[in-house]
């Protein structure tokens, strides 16, 4: 049948979409602005600028400093090297000319930033993060080279009550032979607020200074040799090692001559005690937001840890696991964070994961986005019901197309993770370009099924007859098309299996993806080998043409869904632009189906109009708004999820329910309209005063990807209850009212 040729076009469009994903996979870690080649990036929350300080020019043995200066909007902050109870430190990745070597960030003295019952360490107002640069003796610029090109890719987490992950790319042309002292005052001010060693000329262990267990949950700290200017004053202590002390707890401190002592509660999330514990002590900052210049002086010491503190008796939240997952790539975080997340993590064996993936693939056949593709395949199956050999070959080719496509998609996801990208299952539909490509593909299929055009009218006969000459290849490509539309529809029993792939070796992980593909292909494969199925199908006849045209409407419904998904990513302008382009595409296809001179004139005009439409409207499709689209807040009390938000609420004693969802996830939408909208469920949640957070994964969000990995999951939907002092409870993917109410009753 001519419409089968569209399956080949599906492959082309999908490859284009995947290529677009590769180029845009790292383009959106959060909001950012600033054209390539600029030294300034401005967002709604910060202004970040790349600065340099080379008072003697760029030459061996001469001082050279680079730095990222961040100016925060009022009440917003970024984080120190140890962010405290939540958050992430700013990360800088340099691209420098040969002979220049960037050191570590010389972190300025942070402030303690209380957030409810938690405490973070970070910066408000304006802060400069300076980096010393070593100029090698081999560095020598040519006589015609005047500037050194400095490039920086920075990422930071900026928070108030909510947290926004952001990033920026900076470029600076640094004069080589002339003095660059314009920013000298900023670097001098940053040097004054960098912690100094307690003992001049040393950065290591301070004699007699130590940290020792005073009782089971308290750390006794003593620091010798602090300067006279600090003695008798109340001090802050900032541990450079995370998850050691209870950052928000109040604690006792005292002076005994020149020795400062403190008794500090240990963190509930502490791990094994280190041998050395580097700390920074400074005069306690005044309360309020630090908008003015910082006049404090901090001192750094490495304390010997005496004894081994006991492990934590309980873990009140999974914040450390989430933060570890945010900092590492998702593949690494999946294993480390899974063990930290308690019963919320997957404990599946490989065999159970394979069976779960197989069952999940079977259920995918019932998804509304997959059924139209399978229905088209059944039409061809009916047309040749008596050709058993052809059926078997078609079934095996279809199965090969499905299984190999799932393996390829899984390999792409694992490859992106290995490259440091935080992606999860369904990542392809987080790209507006992929969504738009699939919408165009399904529009073409719908127009062909409805009889608007036939490929044979405007393609050479040698191309139009490819399906008849290569039915096995056609079946293989049908399997590829099925995977293209089925993979984002995360089905029941798949979540834990796919989450486990983040912790498995690549061959075992790909075996799980292969089992998922086999489950999707199994019904058609079985039908092709069981004669009773072929005999049960109706005989070929006029009904087939009617059925073919009927199948155009599910295809158009799929287009409606894809346009809605794009609207969640690119806003109403992006959805409108896609609709305009789909109308233009339909006009071009109709014009090409005409005959005679009408085809020549109409095709010329329609192609020219389509080119103009693409030029005018295509940028709106991939232009993701800087301000996040938040459709998840509702009258039922749902609020947008943010990193650390659940942990902060749980710390107040209130339980939290998090819905990890996405617009392109059909199961998510079903649960949202049924179980989560059930009046009894809503009443139970309100009775228990459960805070409701919705993590919208429609667009790429590394923070949500990391949170899923910390729970042992790789895709959505995921539903989690958090309670104080208890591990998180992860529900099944297809929610039932009884399951949710039973879990609420145990809170």
Helix H, strand E, coil C: the string for 53-80 is EECCCCCCCCCCEEEEEEEECCCCEEEE
Residue located via tokens 């008072």: 55
State the burial class of residue 251 (Cβ atoms within 10 Å of its Cβ: 0-12, 13-18, 19+): middle
Task: Please give the pLDDT value at position 285.
Answer: 79
State the burial class of residue 150 (Cβ atoms within 10 Å of its Cβ: 0-12, 13-18, 19+): buried
Among the ranges given (253-262, 423-432, 505-514), the one the predictor scored with the smallest mean pLDDT: 423-432
Query: In terms of pLDDT, which residue wins out, 374 or 147?
Result: 147
Tell me the HSE value of 162 on the side-chain side, using a 13 A CA sphere: 12
Mean pLDDT in residue range 338-342: 33
pLDDT at residue 604 tops 80 = yes
Neighbours of 408 (CB within 10 A): 16
Task: Please give the pLDDT value at position 151.
Answer: 92
Distance CA 32, CA 211 (A): 42
Task: Please give the pLDDT value at position 110.
Answer: 92
pLDDT tens column, 513-555: 888 888 888 877 877 777 676 666 666 566 667 777 887 887 7
Distance CA 130, CA 50 (A): 10
Among the ranges given (15-19, 175-179, 274-278, 391-395), the one the predictor scored with the smallest mean pLDDT: 15-19
Task: Please give the pLDDT value at position 332.
Answer: 33
Residue located via tokens 């020019």: 57
Task: Please give the pLDDT value at position 656.
Answer: 94
Neighbours of 82 (CB within 10 A): 23
∠ CA 268-271-276, nearest 5°, is 115
DSSP letter at 543?
Answer: H
pLDDT tens column, 629-649: 444 444 457 888 988 888 888
CB-CB contact of 656 with 650 (8 Å): yes
Among the ranges 45-59, 455-469, 470-484, which has the highest mean pLDDT value? 45-59
Residue % of the chain over a pLDDT of 70: 70
Q: How confident is the model at residue 170 (pLDDT cuts 50, 70, 90)?
A: very high
Task: Please give the pLDDT value at position 316.
Answer: 33
pLDDT at residue 337 tops 60 = no
Task: Please give the pLDDT value at position 322.
Answer: 37
Q: How confident is the model at residue 79 (pLDDT cuts 50, 70, 90)?
A: very high
Distance CA 69, CA 48 (A): 6
Phi, psi of 287 (to 5 degrees): -65, 160
Phi, psi of 674 (to 5 degrees): -115, -85
What domains sit in the chain, N to C, each tagged with a CATH number?
40-194 (2.60.40.10), 197-306 (2.60.40), 329-338+351-622 (no CATH), 630-698+717-745 (3.40.30.10)
Among the ranges given (209-218, 334-343, 373-382, 644-653), the one the predictor scored with the smallest mean pLDDT: 334-343
pLDDT tens column, 279-306: 898 888 776 655 667 778 888 888 888 8
Tell me the HSE value of 261 on the side-chain side, using a 13 A CA sphere: 12
Task: Please give the pLDDT value at position 491.
Answer: 45
pLDDT at residue 44 tops 50 = yes
Mean pLDDT in residue range 98-112: 90
Q: How confident is the model at residue 55 (pLDDT cuts 50, 70, 90)?
A: confident
Which residues fall within 8 angstroms of residue 507, CB to CB, at 6 or more apart? none
Task: Please give the pLDDT value at position 129.
Answer: 95
What is the token pair recorded at 174?
């640094």
Pairing of strands 638-640, 691-696: parallel
**256-286 per-residue burial string, b: 16 or more CB within 10 A, e: under 16:** eeeebebebebbbbbeebeeebbbbbbbebe
Mean of the per-residue pLDDT values for the chain? 75
DSSP letter at 5?
Answer: G
Total residues belonging to the chain: 747
Going by C-alpha positions, the residue among 667, 668, 659, 664 that lies closest to residue 640 is 659
pTM: 0.44
What is the token pair recorded at 479?
């399997």
């Amino acid at each position: 049948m001519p419409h089968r040729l569209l399956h080949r076009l599906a492959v082309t469009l999908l490859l284009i979409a995947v290529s677009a994903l590769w180029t845009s996979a790292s383009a959106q870690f959060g909001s950012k602005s600033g054209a390539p080649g600029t030294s300034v990036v401005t967002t709604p929350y910060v202004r970040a600028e790349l600065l340099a300080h080379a008072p003697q020019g760029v030459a061996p043995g001469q001082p050279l400093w680079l730095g990222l200066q961040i100016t925060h909007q009022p009440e917003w902050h970024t984080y120190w090297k140890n962010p405290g109870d939540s958050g992430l430190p700013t990360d800088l990745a340099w691209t420098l000319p040969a002979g220049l070597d960037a050191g570590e960030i010389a972190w300025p003295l942070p402030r303690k930033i209380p957030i409810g019952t938690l405490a973070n360490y970070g910066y408000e107002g304006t802060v400069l993060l300076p980096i010393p640069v070593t100029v090698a003796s081999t560095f020598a610029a040519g006589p015609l080279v005047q500037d050194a090109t400095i490039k920086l890719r920075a990422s930071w987490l900026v928070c108030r009550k909510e947290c926004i992950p952001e990033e920026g790319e900076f470029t600076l042309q640094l004069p080589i032979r002339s003095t660059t002292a314009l920013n000298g005052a900023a670097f001098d001010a940053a040097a004054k607020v960098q912690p100094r060693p307690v003992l001049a000329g040393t950065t290591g262990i301070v004699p007699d200074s130590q940290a020792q267990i005073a009782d089971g949950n308290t750390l006794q700290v003593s620091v010798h040799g602090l300067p006279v200017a600090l003695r008798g004053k109340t001090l802050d202590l900032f541990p450079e090692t995370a998850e050691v002390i209870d950052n928000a707890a109040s604690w006792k401190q005292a002076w005994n001559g020149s020795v400062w002592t403190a008794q500090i509660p240990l963190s509930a999330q502490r791990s094994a005690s280190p041998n050395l514990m580097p700390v920074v002590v400074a005069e306690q900052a005044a309360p309020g937001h630090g908008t003015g210049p910082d006049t404090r002086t901090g001192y750094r010491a490495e304390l010997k840890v005496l004894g081994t503190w006991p492990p934590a008796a309980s873990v009140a939240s999974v914040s450390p696991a989430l933060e570890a997952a945010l900092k590492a790539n998702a593949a690494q975080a999946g294993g480390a964070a899974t063990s930290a997340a308690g019963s919320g993590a997957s404990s599946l064996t490989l065999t159970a994961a394979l069976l779960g993936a197989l069952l999940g693939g079977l259920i995918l056949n019932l998804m509304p986005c997959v059924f139209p593709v399978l229905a088209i395949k059944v039409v061809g199956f009916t047309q040749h019901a008596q050709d058993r050999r052809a059926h078997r070959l078609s079934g095996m080719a279809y199965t090969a197309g499905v299984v190999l496509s799932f393996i390829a998609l899984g390999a792409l996801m694992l490859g992106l993770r290995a490259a440091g990208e935080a992606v999860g299952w369904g990542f392809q539909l987080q790209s507006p370009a992929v969504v738009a490509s699939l919408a165009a593909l399904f529009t073409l299929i719908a127009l062909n099924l409805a009889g608007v055009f036939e490929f044979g009218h405007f393609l050479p006969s040698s191309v139009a007859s490819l399906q008849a000459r290569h039915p096995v290849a056609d079946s293989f490509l049908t399997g590829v098309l099925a995977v293209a539309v089925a993979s984002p529809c995360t089905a029941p029993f798949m979540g834990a299996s796919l989450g486990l792939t983040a912790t498995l070796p690549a061959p075992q992980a790909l075996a799980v993806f292969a089992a998922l593909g086999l489950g999707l292909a199994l019904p058609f494969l079985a039908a092709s080998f069981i004669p009773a199925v072929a005999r049960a199908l109706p005989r070929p006849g006029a009904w087939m043409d009617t059925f073919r045209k009927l199948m155009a409407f599910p295809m158009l419904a799929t287009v409606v869904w894809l346009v809605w998904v794009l609207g969640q990513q690119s806003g109403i302008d992006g959805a409108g632009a896609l609709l305009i382009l789909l109308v233009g595409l339909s006009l071009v296809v109709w014009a090409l189906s005409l005959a005679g001179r009408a085809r020549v004139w109409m095709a010329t005009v329609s192609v020219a109009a389509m080119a103009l439409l693409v030029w005018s409207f295509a940028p709106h499709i991939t232009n993701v708004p800087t301000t996040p689209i938040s459709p998840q807040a509702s009258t039922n009390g749902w609020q947008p999820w943010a990193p650390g938000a659940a942990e902060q609420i749980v710390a107040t004693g209130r339980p939290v329910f998090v819905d990890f969802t996405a617009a392109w996830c059909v199961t998510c939408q079903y649960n949202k309209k049924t179980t989560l909208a059930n009046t009894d469920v809503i009443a139970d949640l309100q009775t228990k005063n459960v805070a409701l957070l919705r993590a919208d994964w429609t667009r790429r969000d590394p923070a949500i990807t990391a949170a899923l990995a910390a729970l042992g999951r790789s895709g959505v939907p995921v539903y989690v209850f958090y309670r104080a002092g208890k591990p998180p409870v992860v529900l099944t993917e297809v929610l039932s009212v009884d399951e949710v109410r039973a879990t609420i009753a145990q809170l």
